[in-house]
A and B are shown apart, each in its own frame.
Chain A
Amino acid sequence: MSAAEASTLRLALVGNPNCGKTALFNQLTGSRQKVANYAGVTVERKEGRLHSSASGRSYAVLDLPGAYSLHAASLDEAVTRDVCRGFYPGEPAPDVLVCVVDATNLRLHLRFALEVRELGKPMILAVNMMDAALRRGIAIDLAALERELGVPVVETIAVKHGGARALVERIDAVAAQPHEPRTHLAEGADLHAETRRLLSLAVAMPTRTAKIDDALDRWLLHPVFGLLALIVVMFLIFQAVYAWATPMMDMIEAGTGWLGEQAGGLLPEGPLNSLLVDGIIGGLGGVVVFLPQILILFAFILALEESGYLPRAAFLLDRMMASAGLSGRSFIPLLSSFACAIPGIMATRSIQDPRDRLATILVAPLMTCSARLPVYALLIGAFVPDEKVGIFNQQGLVLFGLYAAGIASALLVSWVMKKWRRDKGEHALLLELPSYRIPHPRDLLIGLYERAMIFLKRVGGIILALTILLWFLLNFPAPPEGAMGPAIDYSFAGRIGHAMAVFFAPLGFNWQICIALIPGLAAREVAVASLATIYALSAADDDAAIQALTPVISDGWSLATALSLLVWFIYAPMCISTLATIKRETNSWKQMGFATFYLFALAYLASLVTYQVAKALGAG
């Protein structure tokens, strides 16, 4: 017995999606959580520690992915099945299974609990959301349920302080006694029949659904009012990600600028100073600057998911998205990608189907992100006259056209991917619309903290490393004594730019544009500042750079070149942060490589056609 006491016992929470399992996990473990992936797959693994003050024992608690059945239909469910059985490579088998069921949804959840019970492991049934059941007048005879099931049954309220106390007592009791594995039902027994028997013995349910759900769904799923409500929600999210984040991002940029100056003042001029200021501090700033957008977007997504609205939005949009080879759940990630593809790609975690998720990740960079706006503003300002066409401003029309081209391309690409896919199998929607709930602030905060850490830890490192590599290319070798041109011209990046010019000549790009594309890898908007540097103009910020550059390029470039560059930026796979995020979220260099290749190929072809057609029409 001493050996068993010395080693921490392992608990696993298992249950249907929407049973309140994660809220219960947060209640049990507080902030003592570790989030990672299961070995070899992109399924999220959450582990925490539970300390029982009553017994003094501590437990390792694993929050398994939600599953409808141990007959797995998805990667998530397969992980749950294998961990429960103790087959998952690298995962020790759990000592006690805590099967969580929603007290208001026992017809569905008890069937799965029966399936879990047949594994023959020590098990406790936690009947969760007893508060909601009480409000709806649902009476559950827990003693009868315990007697019939032959496993300990305990009620929990995951969202109430102390709502899991009884569960912890039962865990202590189960952990203290030896267990004999046994099955309860004959092989192949009808679990539905057994569920009905248990329900008739132990559960009295006045109505099958909650009145509030019926009332809300009548409006929120209405073909007209439902869509209107959805548009309002989407507008709010988009506005928040786009507008509310900007002041915070400006503050972060100003902060890193100040930090760079302070650090730069401490060191003598030279490569070390430049590495610290432009490479490391600039690179770190480039990572942190994404945080406001990520946090705001995820605050909305978590609240929508927890409240039960997100699956309703997917319900309303599924038909539209399915015709393009995506699913209803793809919509919010794609919408967020208009602000920035990085939070958008991270948001695809709410898409359960791996095929739909991958398709969404791959087209997300085609949504016109806010970083492309300075480039568009420069080119449109220089080449498109500020005149009216009917009631529309010509410049506005071109900008709208660029956004529309991005969306149309995304739909086309996902449609083509759907046609080309070898896996022609029907992919199910089978989406549960759970009861509406008021999200608990604790669960939202823990969720937000996890997202921020995932971004900083997993994506931040790659972005920082690539920024430093780029700094090296842009600054070495230094220009010779008495050199006339801008320093970038003599660097590795400058040489690469000159070499690239041959390849990009059919697109109408001159060598200055080619060089500017390289620092644009770090962030697309940097391309404008770099162009200013290359044309040896001094400019304090983007607006000043646009002003200074406008006369230079409207004289120096042909209209065909400008159009070609605009089209290039619709597709250009030139944001290493996005590529780093794709690598992390798909866990695959192959998918990242594919995304880079197809975006580059599309950009090249579209720009080539644009330039050649424009030249043929006399705009060259």
Chain B
Amino acid sequence: MILTELPSRTPAIVDAVEDHGPQDNIARRLRELGFVNGEEVEVVAKGPLGAEPLLVQVGFTRFALRRSEAARVRLRNGAAS
């Protein structure tokens, strides 16, 4: 499952961030911000138009991600504990 498919207010665990193309700076930045294997994430809100952007809780921080950015985040299968 990828982050854009995750329903709101459902905790999940990050598997990995996938590069979209070579030298994907956005993917690297996502990893730096804490989207790394084993980290818990949750979609806490969605933008008013087209459910974009997504507001994602990771670690102790909330980030607004456009759907194209969130699509790089692959989640582990199965619900979080």
A186 interface contact, C-beta 8 A: no
Q: Is B59 an interface residue (CB 8 A)?
A: yes
Say yes or no for B62: interface residue by CB 8 A criterion: yes
Asked if B34 contacts A430 (CB within 8 A), the reply is no
A106 touches B34 (CB 8 A): no
A311 shortest CB reach to chain B, Å: 7
Closest to B40 in A: A208
What's the nearest-Cβ distance from chain B to residue A483, in Å? 63
Cβ distance B54 to chain A, nearest Cβ, rounded Å = 10
Beta-carbon contact of B60 and A315 below 8 Å: no
Q: Is the beta-carbon distance between A107 and B61 smaller than 8 angstroms?
A: yes
Whether B62 pairs with A426 at a CB distance below 8 angstroms is no
Interchain CA distance A224-B49 in the complex, whole Å: 11
B2 at the interface (CB under 8 A from A): no
Within the assembled complex, what's the spacing in Å between the Cα atoms of A103 and B12? Answer: 25
Is A431 positioned at the interface, with any CB of B under 8 Å from its CB?
A: yes
For residue B68, CB closer than 8 A to chain A, the reply is yes
Residues of B within 8 A of A71 (CB): 28, 32
Query: A430 touching B29 by the CB < 8 A rule?
Result: yes
Do residues A430 and B65 form an inter-chain contact, with CB atoms below 8 A?
Answer: yes
Which among B50, B53, B59, B61 has the highest number of chain A CB atoms within 10 Å?
Answer: B61
**Bound CA span A431–B26, Å:** 12
Of the 9-residue stretches A317-325, A447-455, A488-496, which lies at the interface with chain B? A317-325
CB distance from A369 to the nearest CB of B (A): 28
Q: A316 in the interface, Cβ–Cβ < 8 Å?
A: yes
0 or 1 for each of A289-322: is its CB under 8 Å from B? (1 = yes): 0000000000000000000000100111011101
Task: Say whether A68 faces chain B, with CB atoms less than 8 Å apart.
Answer: yes
Set A105, A315, A432: member contacting B53, Cβ < 8 A: A315
- Assess whether B1 is interfacial by the CB under 8 Å rule: no
Chain B nearest Cβ from A353, distance in angstroms? 12
Compute how far the CA of A430 lies from the CA of B54 in the bound complex, rounded to whole angstroms: 10
Inter-chain contacts of A311 with B (CB < 8 A) = 64
* Cβ contact within 8 Å between A429 and B50: no
B34 partner residues in chain A, CB cutoff 8 A: 107-108, 111, 192
Nearest chain-B residue to A214 (Cβ)? B44
**Does A429 lie within 8 Å of B69, measured CB to CB?**
yes
Q: A318-B64, A428-B69, A430-B65 are in contact. Are A226 and B26 (CB under 8 A)?
A: no
- B57 lies within 8 A of A209 (CB): yes
A311-B64, A426-B68, A428-B69 given; A319·B57 CB < 8 A:
no
**A236 located at the interface, meaning its Cβ lies under 8 Å from any Cβ of chain B in the complex:** no
On whether the beta carbons of A108 and B60 are closer than 8 Å, the reply is yes
Please give, as numbers and ranges, the residues of chain A lying within 8 Å of B68 by CB-CB distance: 426
B27-43 residues at the A interface, CB under 8 angstroms: 28-30, 32-34, 36, 39
- How large, as a class, is the contact surface on chain B? 20 to 34
Does A90 sit within 8 A of B, measured CB to CB? Answer: no
Taking a contact as CB atoms under 8 Å apart, the answer to whether A433 and B33 are in contact is no
Assess whether B36 is in contact with A430, with CB atoms less than 8 Å apart: no
A217 interfacial by beta-carbon distance below 8 Å: yes
> Is A69 in contact with B32, judged by CB distance below 8 angstroms?
yes
Q: Give complex CA distance A240, B32 in Å.
A: 40
Does A181 reach chain B (CB closer than 8 Å)?
Answer: no
A68 touches B32 (CB 8 A): yes
Q: Within the assembled complex, what's the spacing in Å between the Cα atoms of A426 and B72?
A: 13
**Set of chain B residues within 8 Å of A221, measured between Cβ atoms:** 45, 55
Question: Does A337 make an interface contact (CB < 8 A)?
Answer: no
Partner of B44, one of A217, A316, A318: A217
Which residues of chain B come closer than 8 Å to A411, judged between CB atoms? none
Report the nearest B residue to A138, measured CB to CB: B60
Residues of B within 8 A of A106 (CB): 60
B49–A319 touching, CB < 8 Å? yes
For A209, what are the chain B residues with a Cβ–Cβ distance below 8 Å?
A: 57, 60, 62
Closest to A102 in B: B60
In the complex, what residues of A have CB within 8 A of residue B62's CB? 209, 213, 217, 432-433
CB of A223 closer than 8 Å to a CB of B: yes
Tell me which residues across on chain A come within 8 A of B36, comparing CB atoms.
192
**Are A68 and B29 neighbours in the complex by a CB distance under 8 Å?**
yes
0/1 string, B41-81, CB within 8 A of A gives 1: 00011111110110101011111111011000000000000
B10 on the interface (CB 8 Å rule)?
A: no
**Which chain B residues lie closer than 8 Å to A104 at the CB level?**
60
A227 at interface by CB-CB < 8 Å: yes
B26 touching A319, Cβ below 8 Å: no
Give min CB distance, B14 to chain A, whole Å: 11
Residues in A whose Cβ lies below 8 Å from that of B33: 68, 108, 430
Known: A226-B48, A428-B69, A430-B33. A73 touches B25 (CB 8 A): yes
Contact mask for chain A residues 192-207; partner B; CB cutoff 8 A; 1 contact, 0 none: 1000000000000100
- Residues on A with C-beta less than 8 A from B30 are 430
Contact of B47 with A316 in the complex, beta carbons under 8 Å: yes
Compute how far the CA of A429 lies from the CA of B55 in the bound complex, rounded to whole angstroms. Answer: 11
**CA–CA, A114 to B12, complex, Å?**
27
**Contacts known (A68-B33, A107-B34, A318-B66); A208 close to B49, Cβ less than 8 A:** no
B61 touches A105 (CB 8 A): yes
Please give the residue numbers on chain B whose beta carbons come within 8 Å of chain A beta carbons, in ascending order: 25-26, 28-30, 32-34, 36, 39, 44-50, 52-53, 55, 57, 59-66, 68-69
Q: What are the nearest 8 A-B pairs in CB distance?
A: A107-B59, A223-B48, A319-B49, A431-B64, A221-B45, A69-B32, A433-B62, A315-B64
Residues of A at the B interface (CB closer than 8 Å) are 68-69, 71, 73, 104-108, 111, 192, 205, 208-209, 213-214, 217-218, 221, 223-224, 226-227, 311, 314-316, 318-320, 322, 426, 428-433
Other CB < 8 Å A-B pairs besides A315-B53, A318-B52, 6 of them? A68-B32, A69-B32, A214-B44, A316-B48, A319-B48, A431-B64
10 contacts between A and B (CB under 8 A): A73-B29, A192-B39, A208-B57, A208-B59, A208-B60, A221-B55, A223-B46, A318-B66, A319-B50, A433-B64
